[in-house]
Amino acid sequence: MEKNETDRETGNLLQPKYDSNGLITAVVTDDSTGELLMLAHMNAQALQLTQESGVAHFYSRSRQCLWKKGETSGHILSVTELRIDCDQDALWVKAMPAGPACHTGEPSCFYRKIVDGKLEPVG
Amino acid sequence: MEKNETDRETGNLLQPKYDSNGLITAVVTDDSTGELLMLAHMNAQALQLTQESGVAHFYSRSRQCLWKKGETSGHILSVTELRIDCDQDALWVKAMPAGPACHTGEPSCFYRKIVDGKLEPVG
């Protein structure tokens, strides 16, 4: 492995590995229940704003703009911890949600399980 | 929203939305601790094998091949539940890991938290 990669995996320097669109995947879990809430993407600005404000910001790939989660709905995500993975191409955002995280009104975007190749609502 | 999209969000039909490379993001958590273990990608074949075998299979973007997690290390992921998100472009794999999920030997790939712009080991 190149030195750069070793540093990235073992060092204490934040060096997010953005993809060709300047984005990194962010996984959001509910810090009180541990449930997976949603998956989204951040660009460098969204990550910086998230760190500064303590409230999750993302980059919307469909709308191609910075996006403060909950800006219109009020369902913001208050960040309790932010982690990065081994090769620094994914973020784990632990958060306290102020309301449903999914635009459908479900608490989590993952409201269906796959059973025998079909989808079934959970809980 | 188009009818197709509504069906995808509310229906019981599994219709994974693969990206331009034929991949869907998969988030793996430890079903006993709730910890986020790793992020990986599946193609249609990996998803099918995962469903059929009950053991997580992925598609390695770096090696460009199907990848049974733990094939060489023995650290397989036994799948306890498989979920898909609202727009069916992300999977949640709940699993029981047979060993460290990260290639570094850490139980989870997310072994560092971001504090004041620097990385700190957790736990």
pLDDT digit string (tens) for chain A, length 123 residues: 677 778 899 999 999 999 999 999 999 999 999 999 999 999 999 999 999 999 999 999 999 999 999 999 999 999 999 999 999 999 999 999 999 999 999 999 999 999 999 999 997
Q: Which residue of B lies nearest to A40 if distances are taken between CA atoms?
A: B90
- Are B118 and A12 an interchain contact pair (Cβ–Cβ within 8 Å)? yes
pLDDT digits (tens, 9 = 90+) for B7-27: 899 999 999 999 999 999 999
| CA distance to partner chain A, nearest, from residue B108 (Å) | 8
Token pair in block for residue A119: 């989808």
Rounded to two decimals, the pTM is 0.95
- Are B83 and A27 an interchain contact pair (Cβ–Cβ within 8 Å)? no
- Tokens 């300047």 appear where? A22
- Are B11 and A110 an interchain contact pair (Cβ–Cβ within 8 Å)? no
CA A43 vs. chain centroid, Å, equals 11
CA distance B86 to B121: 33
**ipTM, two decimals:** 0.95
3.10.20.810, 3.40.50.2300, 1.10.10.10, 2.40.110.10: CATH of A3-121: 3.10.20.810
Residue among B96, B89, B113, B108 at smallest CA distance from B30:
B96
Each domain of chain A, given as residue ranges in start order, spans 3-121
Say how many C-beta atoms besides its own lie within 10 A of residue B25's C-beta: 18
Q: Which residue of A lies nearest to B38 if distances are taken between CA atoms?
A: A85
| CA distance to partner chain B, nearest, from residue A39 (Å) | 7
